[in-house]
Amino acid sequence: MDGTTAPATTTAVQLRLTRQTPACWRVTIDNPPINVMGPETVRQFQQIIDAIESSEDLKVVVFDSAIDGYFLNHSDFTAKMGDLTSMAPGPTGLPPWPDFLVRLTRAPVVSIALIRGRATGNGSEITLACDMAFASREKAIISQWEVGVGLVAGGGPMARLPRLIGRNRALEVLLTSEDIRGDQAEAYGYINRALPDAELDAFVEALATRIAKFDKWAIAQTKRLVNTSLPPDVELGAGWEACINSLGRTAAQQGIKALMSEGFHQPGDTEERLGFHLGQLPAR
């Protein structure tokens, strides 16, 4: 998982961990061609959060992407569902993906999402789990797309979004399944700021470096007290259960099949303009 060390197995490294300094790490999502999230990605996120929690020196971790046009995308619907549902729960008692998200939010370090490209489904969910999020004004697109295809989101946006942007706007995001550009995400409070693309990297680097100079105990205690406003784990667990149940519904299967016939899961217009194409699907 560490960008400086060769993997011990032949499994492709989809998350590259770079220890820039003992106090500041970067996790780069790198699963070409479009950064979909399959069971192996989830396993590697579990390894990442284990490393974050066990580090005594870490203060800041930045999540970014190596794939042009994509931060973190939707789940891999070509993978075997059993490979995901058979994975053991994490330390929180939740299934591995919501477990990772809960642990990231609670970790005594600052997590920052640097969003350039699409943050679709899972990408939106990790954005919501991070402590801060900064996006490219020109290139970022955030989407909770699931209802548009007959699914329920599994990573807790129903629990997190209303507390962050208000109930009405949360319902707009979730029920329209529209693509949200950086400026709108900033205006809604979905992210901290949308910045000109040319300034994004330097801004996040400076912010991460600044925080990484501060005292870890003070960072951790401040975050712990702010976290009293978080939704309870049971709300994220209920969302995951609803998501898994929705995958077997006829409406969802038909919706995914229709999107696949239009080029879903491949580089191209369907993935790049997913919100538009969801609106073109037949009524169900």
- SS3 (DSSP) at 17: strand
pLDDT score, position 35: 98
Structure-derived torsion over alpha carbons of residues 140, 188, 100, 22, reported in degrees to the nearest 10? 70
Say what the pTM is. 0.94
pLDDT score, position 155: 97
- SS3 (DSSP) at 197: helix
pLDDT score, position 5: 45
For the chain, what is the domain count? 1
- Give the range of the structural domain holding residue 47, as residue numbers without chain letter: 15-198+223-277
Evaluate if residue 3 carries a pLDDT over 90: no
pLDDT score, position 11: 78
How many residues are present in the chain?
284
Evaluate if residue 7 carries a pLDDT over 60: no
Domain assignment present for residue 147? The answer is: yes
**pLDDT tens digits along 124-152:** 999 999 999 999 999 999 999 999 999 99
- DSSP codes of every residue in 128-194: HHSSEEEEETTT-EEE--GGGGT---SSSHHHHHHHHH-HHHHHHHHHH---EEHHHHHHHTSSSEE
- SS3 (DSSP) at 126: helix
Task: Say if residues 212 and 59 touch (Cβ distance below 8 Å).
Answer: yes
Q: What angle do CA 185, 171, 117 make, to 5 degrees?
A: 30
Domain assignment present for residue 215? The answer is: no
For the domain that residue 74 is a member of, what is the CATH number?
Answer: 3.90.226.10
Partners of 110 in beta bridges: 60
**pLDDT tens digits along 88-113:** 999 999 999 999 999 999 999 999 99
pLDDT score, position 2: 57
Domain assignment present for residue 89? The answer is: yes
Q: What is the mean pLDDT of the chain?
A: 95
Q: How many helices (H) and strands (E) are present in the chain, helices listed first? A: 13, 10
Residues above pLDDT 90, as percent of the chain: 95
Domain assignment present for residue 34? The answer is: yes
- SS3 (DSSP) at 93: coil
Evaluate if residue 6 carries a pLDDT over 60: no
**pLDDT tens digits along 266-284:** 999 999 999 999 999 998 8
pLDDT score, position 271: 98
Domain assignment present for residue 210? The answer is: no
Domain assignment present for residue 207? The answer is: no
Task: Say if residues 46 and 103 touch (Cβ distance below 8 Å).
Answer: no
Domain assignment present for residue 208? The answer is: no
Backbone dihedral angles phi then psi of residue 132, each to the nearest 5 degrees: -145, 155
**pLDDT tens digits along 38-59:** 999 999 999 999 999 999 999 9
